[in-house]
């Protein structure tokens, strides 16, 4: 499978990298002399290359094409003529201006994926930046310590989720083509992906009219389900049922909490979450986080220290999850998909612009 990849930045390049890992030949089209914007998004850098660009562009080759010229557009059409899939995330209307949109190409067997910030209709002129979508799409309204302190996620999560949804759409369209010979247009926008990906928070609004507010690290429907202090570093408790709560109370030497009418059921604990926090944090402060992790985990009580990324990779290594992959001299994050018959491959390091 050949993918003509006209995408840049994060959402669509993440999608095409995932497909490249799964075996697709991905040809990345870049602006001559400049390339993908993320080539300049640093620090940090690996040698002289931005790690941002390197994070989503392995298993691709790069070709420089100036789409503003007739010769460049003809070169692009020649590339598309031998491609199974086209992926682009320009501002809506841009590829049509070049005569390279799905309708203008007129190929009935082509799978064509377009990603935008707010769709190709009334939102076509709005800039599709992840931070902006997190703000207007409601994610920041439920993230942070309080209603006047909205917080974005620590990574461009909406872009990543959109890339994953794009993969699903492209693979579904390819399966349809395999069955019928017909391609199709696959369209995604960041706002719709975010609204879908907010799952229970979104459904609480559509089904019950509930407009959620930020709760810090708490959960609107489960308790205890938040961050607690210990003798050295914060720890997370994610107690999902009454049985786990009883075991937690036993380990913390407060078995009476399990029969306290304020805390007997999960619904009770959610109502009295402030009181519950005060009792639990007083007990958890008496020992370091690792002690609680090693004591509670074997009993089936979900908990763990709040790791930084270095410790998170170390944890994955200790669990034999192989979180990294090496291409030439470069260590990148491994693709998390594990396939027994057709495993992912790491064939090409992210291309330099001159390649």
In the block, residue with structure tokens 């009792």: 279
Whole-number pLDDT of residue 148:
81
Using DSSP, state whether 124 is helix, strand or coil.
coil
pLDDT range class, residue 355, cuts 50, 70, 90: low
pTM comes to 0.91
pLDDT of 67-113, one tens digit each? 999 999 999 999 999 999 999 999 999 999 999 999 999 999 999 99
Categorize the per-residue pLDDT at 216 as very low, low, confident or very high, splitting at 50, 70 and 90: confident
The CATH class of 2-209+325-333 is alpha beta
pLDDT of residue 220: 87
Residue 354 has what pLDDT? Answer: 76
Q: What share of the chain is helix, strand, coil (3-state, %, to 5)?
A: 40, 15, 45
130 is catalytic: no
**C-alpha span between 184 and 188 (Å, rounded):** 13
Average confidence (pLDDT) over 301-326 = 94
Give residue 49's pLDDT: 94
3-state secondary structure of 199: helix
- Give the CA distances from residue 94 to residues 64, 91, 251, 351, in Å, rounded to whole numbers and listed in that order: 18, 6, 61, 25
Using the structure block, give the residue that is written with the tokens 């942070």. 144
Mean pLDDT of the chain: 95
Q: What is the pLDDT of residues 248-262, one digit of tens each?
A: 999 999 999 999 999
**Average pLDDT value for residue range 219-247:** 95
Catalytic residue among 159, 232, 268, 329: 159
Q: Six-digit token pair at 187?
A: 């369209």
Fold matches, 2-209+325-333 and 225-306: no
Report, as an integer, the average pLDDT of 114-121: 93
| DSSP alpha helix (H) spans, 188-241 | 190-197, 199-208
90 — phi, psi (to 5°)? -70, 170
- Which is it for strands 184-189 and 111-116: parallel, antiparallel or unpaired? parallel
Q: Under DSSP, is residue 240 helix (H, G, I), strand (E, B) or coil?
A: coil
* Domain extents in the chain: 2-209+325-333, 225-306
CATH 3.40.50.150 fits 225-306, yes or no: no
């Amino acid at each position: 499978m050949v993918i003509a990849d006209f995408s840049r930045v994060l959402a669509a390049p993440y999608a095409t990298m995932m497909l490249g890992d799964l075996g697709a030949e991905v040809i990345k089209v870049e602006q001559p002399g400049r390339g993908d914007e993320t080539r300049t998004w640093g620090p940090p850098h690996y040698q002289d290359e931005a790690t941002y660009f390197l994070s989503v562009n392995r298993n691709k080759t790069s070709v420089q094409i100036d789409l503003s010229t007739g010769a460049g557009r003809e070169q692009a059409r020649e590339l598309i003529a031998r491609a199974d899939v086209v992926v682009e995330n320009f501002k809506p209307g841009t590829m049509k201006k070049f005569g390279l949109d799905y309708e203008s190409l007129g190929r009935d067997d082509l799978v064509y994926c377009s990603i935008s910030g707010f769709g190709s209709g009334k939102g076509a002129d709005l800039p599709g930046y992840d931070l902006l979508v997190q703000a207007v799409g409601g994610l920041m309204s439920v993230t942070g310590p309080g209603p006047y302190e909205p917080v974005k996620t620590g990574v461009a999560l909406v872009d990543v989720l959109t890339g994953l949804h794009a993969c699903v759409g492209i693979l579904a369209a390819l399966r349809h083509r395999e069955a019928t010979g017909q391609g199709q247009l696959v369209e995604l926008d960041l706002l719709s992906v975010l609204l879908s990906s907010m799952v229970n928070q979104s459904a609480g609004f559509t089904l019950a009219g509930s407009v959620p507010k930020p709760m810090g690290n708490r959960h609107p429907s489960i308790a205890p389900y938040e961050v607690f202090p210990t003798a050295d570093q914060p720890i997370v408790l994610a107690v999902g049922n009454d049985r786990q709560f009883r075991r937690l109370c036993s380990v913390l030497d407060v078995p009476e909490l399990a029969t306290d009418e304020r805390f007997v059921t999960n619904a009770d604990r959610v109502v009295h979450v402030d009181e519950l926090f005060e009792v639990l944090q007083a007990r958890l402060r008496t020992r370091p986080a690792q002690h609680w992790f090693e004591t509670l985990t074997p009993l089936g009580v979900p908990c763990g220290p709040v790791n930084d990324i270095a410790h998170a990779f170390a944890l994955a290594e200790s669990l034999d999850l192989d979180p990294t992959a090496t291409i030439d001299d470069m260590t990148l994050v491994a693709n998390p998909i594990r396939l027994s018959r057709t495993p992912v491959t790491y064939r090409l390091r992210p291309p330099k612009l001159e390649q």
